[in-house]
Structure 1
Amino acid sequence: MVSKEVSDHVRSWRFILLLALVVLTFFASLYISMSNIRASFSNSGDPDHAFLYLKLLSATDGSMPPFHVLMSFLAPLLGITMGFDAINSEQNSGSLTRLLAQPIYRDNILLAKFYSAMLIISTLFISLTLLMIGGGLLFTGVRIEPSELLRILGFTLLTMVYVGFYLSLSILFSIAFRQAATSALTSLGIWLFFTVFYPILVNLVIRAFLPDPAYLSQSQLMGYNELIMDIMRIAPGQLYSDAATTMLMPSIRSLGPMSMEQLSGAIPSPLPFRESLVIVWPQLSGLLAGSIAFFALAYYIFMRREIRS
């Protein structure tokens, strides 16, 4: 079943087009990053200047966003595209009824849908990671450091989890709605809400209910900033952006506001991989928890659904 699902995904035109978009975006970002590496390395005040391979994924000249920012928009589209018609297309065509007439469990069908999509996504991003490392070795001749490799692998794993979040959500809607167009529009609507409208809504609420920052003390201002950041982190895209930025920029020491007492005496130096992982662990756990929750709900609904021809 997994082999059949993988074959269907690979041969579908929508996946081929989205795959071409992701690959073109990757190589465009890689080209721009390579052209800016010499300028960034000449800046001795940059604490991340020694991480060449991380610069390949995070450096930009302003003509286009870096790769991890573009992935915050493309990764949800990839997950939604591969899951919005996972179940309802089978049900509308009548193949689901014939499939369940065979000695096949329902949970195997759902697991095959999810596993095949994640297998393709994992292969795609691992291949892009190896291409990026190979391109860096070919054009620069600089040896990759173990800490860089761990951070790049962590970023790849984080991106796969982010895609899996929207994949679970789209599979849930493919079970909840009979029409594939309805499930696709609902998934895209939720993605657009959290990407575009949710920050605007939070900004309006803050202006309406929170006091003027000019009349707040430093401790009160830090408390309000922490509250605002916690509200913003309800959005999956914000969780991914925080974690990806921390993994690719070792100089980031905190994702929250810091007082002048905390900053005084701090030396601008990169953090070890383990400490950066500790910082991003809440974001990664949130994305994993959301993915598991949506898939568990889809599993519950699908197991109790009456399938008729």
Structure 2
Amino acid sequence: MTINKNNNLYAFSILVKKEIADHIRSWKFIILLAIILLTCVASLYTALQALKNTAPAPNDPDAAFFFLKIFTTSDGTMPSFHLFVGFLGPLLGICLGFDAVNSEFNGRTLGRILSQPIHRDYFLNAKFIGALTVIGVLFTSLILLTIGAATLLVGFPPTFMECNRLFLFTLLTIVYVAFWLNLSILFSVRFKHTATSALVAIAIWLFFTVFYPIIINIVAKAVQPNPYASEAEIMQYQHFMLTIMRFAPSQLYSDGTSMLLMPSIRSLGPLHMEQIQGAIPSPLPIWESIKVAWSQLVALIACTIVCFATSYYLFMRKEIRC
């Protein structure tokens, strides 16, 4: 029994290594990686220029978190680092997953792979684990390179608290990109042609990136309370708008990164006047920021699990019917 288990684990590791090698050697990954590197270098340059030319305010609670500002500050010519990652990260996930399964069907290689003494679910698990490993190594290396370059340029390293927040930011970024990876794998299982799965995944990304904010603005104008509304009505309106905005994965990621990279933010929702009066502007401890951003992280993980479970179910049914 132990021999069979070890053989299965060895076969699974071979599949994962094959997927990692295929992704690294593919032109689509190399081109998208070059775009991400160039944009992140540009955002790092603009952030350092903005921080060098702007003196910190005397009452700024984030003044002590210089390295966190590198990832959130821009001089206006280009978006900041975390905005670039939030925009291009889904494209990387879609790029790695849109042809994960249907390309094997079309190339008639799936039967050869499953004819080996391995479990059928190992194939789909290896597709996900291999792509997730590439994503994790890529963004971890990218953020470490950014910290290293900034350390060489400014002359001092980040603090321990800054490192903790950047580690959590890296983890949240990997989870966010993993959601789009699982969504593209789901379409790769569902649709026979790779072009169809890629177009559907990109269409959903464009909808939540471009068109969903437009729909939200239209809804906001339609249900906006009158200027003489009570505080309770205004709070109810703001809570409603925040709820429907968080149906977009990009909004969940934006809320989470704001809490982790901007310690002065104390809440992601509207506050009553009683909560604001007497509050001293100071950065939140890291555990308090995690508590506020925890629901966003759990929502992204839940969406990722749902997509993977659906693709797993469809793949196993397709295999049973073949």
Q: TM-score, normalised by structure 2?
A: 0.92
Selected match of 2:29 from 15, 26, 35: 15
1:159 aligns with 2:209: no
Return closer, same or farther for 1:96/1:179 CA change in 2, 3 Å cut-off: same
In 2, are the aligned partners of 1:255 and 1:279 still within 8 Å (CA)? yes
Which residue of structure 2 lines up, in the alignment, with residue 241 of structure 1? 254
Selected match of 1:229 from 231, 235, 242: 242
Aligned pairs (5 A) from 1:112-131: 112-131=126-145
Selected match of 1:94 from 101, 108, 115: 108
Selected match of 1:207 from 221, 224, 233: 221
Distance of 1:4 and 1:133 partners within structure 2: 31
In 2, are the aligned partners of 1:54 and 1:152 still within 8 Å (CA)? yes
Distance of 1:63 and 1:76 partners within structure 2: 23
Distance of 2:65 and 2:33 partners within structure 1: 28
Selected match of 2:98 from 76, 80, 84: 84
- Percent identity of the aligned residues? 53
Give 3-state SS (helix, strand or coil) of 2:319's partner: coil
Aligned residues: 308
Give 3-state SS (helix, strand or coil) of 1:291's partner: helix
Selected match of 1:275 from 285, 288, 299: 288
Which residue of structure 1 lines up, in the alignment, with residue 6 of structure 2? none
Selected match of 1:62 from 37, 54, 76: 76
Deviation at 1:213, TM superposition (A): 3.1
Q: TM-score, normalised by structure 1?
A: 0.96
Amino acid aligned to 1:251: S
Amino acid aligned to 1:273: I
In 2, are the aligned partners of 1:41 and 1:50 still within 8 Å (CA)? no
In 2, are the aligned partners of 1:213 and 1:221 still within 8 Å (CA)? no
Selected match of 1:198 from 206, 212, 220: 212
Deviation at 1:307, TM superposition (A): 7.2
Selected match of 2:269 from 252, 256, 263: 256
Distance of 1:244 and 1:166 partners within structure 2: 17
Which residue of structure 1 lines up, in the alignment, with residue 124 of structure 2? 110
Task: List gaps (5 residues or longer) in structure 2.
Answer: 1-14
Distance of 2:216 and 2:51 partners within structure 1: 37
1:295 aligns with 2:308: yes
Distance of 1:142 and 1:80 partners within structure 2: 37
Which residue of structure 2 lines up, in the alignment, with residue 6 of structure 1? 20
Deviates more, 1:76-85 or 1:34-43: 34-43
